[in-house]
Amino acid sequence: MSWLDRLRTRPTEATGPEGEPGEEASAAFERASPGLAALFGVMKPERAHSILDLGEASRRHLAVLSPYARQIRFAGLVPTPPAGDALRVALERLPPNADHPYDIVLAWDVLDRLGPPDRKALLERVTKLTAPGARLYASVDTSGAETIQPVRWTLVSVDRISQEPVGAPERAKPVLLPAQAERMLDPFKVTHAFSLRVGAREYVATRG
């Protein structure tokens, strides 16, 4: 499948806005990602994986994922995740893969930006689309700030990520403490967790 075809697999209706008219986004910056390093450290670079990325597609992103993936699906749930009925519609548009269920899920800053019912709906759908042994990467904001800046995430390498602020800041949900995050991710069991100085926490979890 070509990069263009992969880009077209993203359900565009589920993609959030990239900013209000006339609004200037801040410059992107790169940072190390120990969570991604841990995830890619156990992945096979022989196009063996079926990957579900809850973010947006980009060519740079695909260049990092393609050596590992026989299939890539982009959900478009960030930078701005839908909520309520809109989220459920977006999730139902993600088809199951009977021959090769997703075994890698990339969940950027989405879980901490949803209320409890929507988090539950998202995890239930992800669980249905994966099989035991699937691995999930999740990043959550832990800054404790009153507002959170929507971010477009782009993989730079297997251990580095680019964050590009887009759109207007939104009111932050309460910070997810480690124990709360582990309960939320069930039936995925956390195997690695990293607290970062940038005010974020990364998790890698394996489905039981």
CATH number of the domain at 101, please: 3.40.50.150
Buried b (16+ CB within 10 A) or exposed e, 96-121: ebeeebbbbbbbbbbbbbbeeebbeb
From the centroid of its chain, how far is CA 106?
4
Over residues 186-202, the pLDDT tens digits come to 999 999 999 999 999 99
- 17: tokens are 């806005």
Residue 18 · residue 80 · CB < 8 Å: no
Residue 103 · residue 48 · CB < 8 Å: no
Over residues 104-156, the pLDDT tens digits come to 999 999 999 999 999 999 999 999 999 999 999 999 999 999 999 999 999 99
Tell me what percent of the residues of the chain surpass a pLDDT of 90.
Answer: 80
User: What's the CA gap between 161 and 36, in Å, rounded?
Assistant: 9
| Residue 184 backbone zone (phi > 0: left; psi -120 to 50: alpha; other: beta) | alpha
Over residues 44-66, the pLDDT tens digits come to 999 899 999 999 999 999 999 99
User: What's the CA gap between 128 and 158, in Å, rounded?
Assistant: 27
The number of folded domains in the chain is 1
Q: Is the pLDDT of residue 86 over 80?
A: yes
Query: What is the extent of the structural domain holding 178?
Result: 3-16+25-207
* pTM recorded for the entire structure: 0.86
